[in-house]
A and B are shown apart, each in its own frame.
Chain A
Amino acid sequence: MGESTVELAHLIAGIQSITVIAAAGLIAIAALGTALSFGMLGGKFLESIARQPELAPMLTMRMFVMAGLIDAFAAISVATGLLLVFGSNPFLAAVLNAATKVS
C-alpha cells in the first residue's frame, strides 16, 4: 500500500513538473513572438508615417488589422498554458483515473 502511494506520488509529480514546463513554454514563447512582431510592426509603422505623414489614418487602420492577426495565435497559446496551470490538466486526470481504477 505504502509503496504504491509513493509510486503514484512520483507519477503525479512527474506529470506536474512536465506540465509546468510546457505551460511556461506556451506562455513565454507566445509573449516572445508577439513582442518581437509588435516591435517590428510598430517600428515599420512609425517609419512609414515619418516618410508619408498624410497616409497616417489609413496606415493606422491597417496596423490594427495586423495587430489583431498577430495577437490571435499568441492569445490561443496563452489560454492553453493558463488552462493547463489553473484549469484542468487532462494528463493528470488520466493518471488519477487509472489510479482509482487500480485501487
Chain B
Amino acid sequence: MTTNFLHPATSGEYIQHHLEYLQLNLRTFTMGDGGFWTLNLDTLALTIIFGGLFFGIFRFVVTRLSSEVPGKLQNAVEMTIEFVQQLVKEVFHGKSTLIAPLALTIFVWIFSLNMLDLIPVDLFSRILFCFGISHFRPVPTDDPNFTFALSLSVFILIVFYNLKAKGFRGFAKEMLTVPFGKWLFPLNVTFRLIEELVKPVSLSLRLFGNMFAGELIFLLIATMPWWIQWTAGGIWSIFHILVITIQAFVFMMLTIIYLSMAHE
C-alpha cells in the first residue's frame, strides 16, 4: 500500500496512518489484517526485545555482583529489586516464590515498554519507511492485544492460586456462600463471577487507555506547527513520565493485591 507518509493530506489521515499496526496475516502469510489470525509484528518484536533486554541486564548484574563499590547499574538493579520486594512483603503475607519475581517482571517490562512513548512519534516509522515498511507502532502497551495478554495471564494465575490455596472444595464453598450466605447462592455466584471477570478487563483497559491517550496526544502535537511543538511536546512529555511510571506501578501493585487476595 502506498501512503504519502511525508506529506499527509489531512491531520486525520496522518493519525490514521500512525494508528495502524504492522500486521501479518497468518492465513495467507502476507502483510495485512486477517481478522482473528493476525500477528501484530511490531508489538511482538518490541515486547520480545525488551523482555530479553530486561532479563539480560538483570542477569548480567546478578552474576557479577561486587560487594565493594557497586557500580551505577548494580545500584539501579538493587534498588528496583528491593523496592518491589518491600511492596510484596507489605501486601502479601504468605509464602510464594512466584509473586515477587512476577511483580518485578511486570513492573520493569511494562515500564520499559511505556518508556517508548517518549521517543519522537515519527522516529521509528520514518526510519523503517526507508526500508519499505509502511506501518509501525512504537509503543506495544497501547496495543490492546498485549495488555489483554498480560492481564489474562494474571487472571489465570489468580484462578490457579485460588484453587491451590483453598482447594477445589474450599473455592467452591467460598463462591457459593460468601457475601449473603448459602440460601442466596445464585446471587453470590453472579457477584463473584462479575468481580473476577472485571479484574482482567479493568487491568488491561487501564494500561491501554492511558498509553493510547498519551500516544494520540503526541500524534496531535506532531500535527501542530513546528514552533509550538517544542513547548507542547515538552509539557506533555513531562506529564507523561508520571503517567508511565504510575501505570506500570499500578499494574504491578494490583497484580500483587489480587494474588494475595486469592491466597486468603
For chain B, residues 222 to 260, give those with C-beta under 8 angstroms from any C-beta of chain A: 223, 243, 246-247, 249-250, 253
Assuming the A-B contacts A65-B249, A71-B246, are A88 and B16 also in contact, with contact meaning beta carbons closer than 8 angstroms in the complex? yes
Contact B209 A69 (CB under 8 A): no
Contact A75 B210 (CB under 8 A): yes
Least CB distance, A79 to chain B, in whole angstroms:
4
At the interface, is chain A mostly helix, strand, loop or mixed? helix
For chain B, residues 1 to 48, give those with C-beta under 8 angstroms from any C-beta of chain A: 11-12, 15-16, 19
With beta carbons under 8 angstroms apart, the residue of A64, A67, A73, A87 that contacts B19 is A87
A68 within 8 A of B: yes
Assuming the A-B contacts A71-B243, A72-B205, are A78 and B213 also in contact, with contact meaning beta carbons closer than 8 angstroms in the complex? yes
B178 within 8 A of A: no
A82 within 8 A of B: yes
Least CB distance, A80 to chain B, in whole angstroms:
9
Least CB distance, A57 to chain B, in whole angstroms:
11
Contact A76 B253 (CB under 8 A): no
* New A-B contacts (4) at CB < 8 Å, excluding given A72-B210, A88-B16: A65-B250, A68-B249, A75-B212, A76-B208
B206 within 8 A of A: yes
Least CB distance, B79 to chain A, in whole angstroms:
15
